[in-house]
Homo-oligomer: A and B are copies of this chain.
């Protein structure tokens, strides 16, 4: 039981969160420096993002001297799950099967990946003694 009251994140907020999830606790300047180069925000913009994320509960921080060290306050997995649920509801009326089918169609996977997925599907089978249905 971890999820619930996970805030929804905007695309730009996702970018920031991903950076922090990847690097661990960071100061604003470092977040700014670490963002993918194609996203060239002003440091000001980054700070706005950070504040908003703190406000909505996605991040928390610890004060170090005169600056903050921001860290994720929510699990990436939970945020992901939320987002995926959203898409599932919005586009597919919660029917998972068509959604997954769509993804498979739409993405090009190599042979290995296909096999991994097939593996995963097998484990999913009811009666595949894998720590019986979580979630």
Query: Which chain A residues have a beta carbon within 8 Å of chain B's beta carbons?
Result: 11, 14, 18, 80-81, 83-88, 90-91, 93, 96-97, 99-111, 113-114, 116-118, 120-121, 124-126, 133, 135
Contacts and interface: CB of A to CB of B under 8 A. Distances in A.
- How many copies of this chain does the complex contain? 2
A102 B124 CA distance: 12
B120 A96 contact: no
19 contacts: A11-B90, A14-B90, A80-B91, A80-B102, A81-B106, A84-B91, A96-B103, A96-B113, A97-B107, A97-B116, A97-B117, A99-B103, A99-B107, A100-B107, A101-B117, A104-B124, A105-B120, A110-B126, A118-B118
Majority secondary structure, A binding face: helix
Nearest to A94: B107
A119 to B, nearest CB: 10
Given A90-B14, A103-B103, A121-B104, A109 B83 contact: no
A130 to B, nearest CB: 11
Given A84-B87, A106-B135, A121 B125 contact: no
